[in-house]
Chain A
Amino acid sequence: MDFFSALRISGGGLSVERTRVNLATSNLANAETTRTAAGGPYKRLDPIIEAVPFNDLLPGSPNAPSAAVVSSIAADNTPGRRVYSPGHPDADPEGFVTFPNVNPIHEVVNLMSASRAYEANSTAVETLKSMALRGLDISR
């Protein structure tokens, strides 16, 4: 067992949170995007986060520490709100424009939560660093 397993786990956590931040900012930036390359309004994106067991620390143990990974990014298919706006270039034949299913408040909350989690992972890394330096100090 080594120090670097813990660093990899925390690094993975940092990466997951950064992905969440990126997706939240993308969703926020595209809150009013009615036209995309794929056609139709922007669909908000969600990360699918999974826990992955980290087995090399305790071979043979029924439980193991877990790392986190974003296994995929899923588009949210909930239909967005429809606004009656017949003059809009993206209006459908009935005169309704479908806006993205992005709720800015939801996204900002995600942003804050991801930011807090990022800090927590960062603190875990700092803690490990100070432990490692104390460990090395055994041999002055």
Chain B
Amino acid sequence: MKLFDGTLTRVERSLDVRLLRHTVLAGNVANLDTPGYKPKDIDFASAMSAVMNGGEMARSDGGHLDAEGNAAGGAAGQSNLPGLRVIESGGASPSIDGNAVDLDRTMASLAENAIQYGASAKAATKKLGILRYAISEGNG
């Protein structure tokens, strides 16, 4: 019985990609003073399409569900997102020590990413809430 639709699956995947993007950007911020460091990023649009089309959104965690509630096999706790690549983004022009991280742009990207994550989380919450309401016939 298929309870959860494609939109919810997309939202779930977007949450994962957003989290990964935060980690990459946090790595840029942590390496603000590393000589020779070039900043990294994830191209969200291509990452999402790669994740959605790369097989049946294969997840290597045994606990994760596909759209039908079937668990995929694999090691618990590790989520493998196929098709995701960390790219080296064009940063600011390098400073004398070769570090190319643009702090202002990075902080702005972090903020934008967090807002998008919040939006996806809200969407998931609401969709599941609607489903619950429907099943409980309005009784909470």
Contact = CB atoms under 8 A, between A and B. Distances in A.
A16 to B, nearest CB: 7
A67 B88 CA distance: 15
B35 interface: yes
Contacts of A116: 103
A10 interface: yes
B31 A17 contact: no
Interface in A1-48: 1-3, 5-6, 9-10, 12-13, 16-17, 20
A127 B111 contact: yes
Contacts, number: 139
A120 B107 contact: yes
A65 B91 CA distance: 15
Contact of B20 (A57, A67, A134): A57
Interface size class of B (residues with CB under 8 A): 35 or more
B95 to A, nearest CB: 10
- State which size class the interface on A falls in: 35 or more
A138 B128 CA distance: 8
Given A63-B88, A134-B121, 19 more contacts: A1-B19, A6-B19, A6-B23, A13-B32, A16-B30, A20-B33, A49-B34, A58-B84, A63-B85, A63-B87, A65-B23, A65-B40, A68-B33, A114-B33, A117-B103, A128-B114, A134-B122, A135-B117, A137-B121
18 contacts: A1-B78, A10-B29, A17-B33, A51-B27, A51-B31, A51-B37, A54-B23, A58-B20, A62-B85, A63-B40, A65-B23, A66-B28, A113-B33, A121-B26, A121-B30, A121-B32, A123-B107, A124-B22
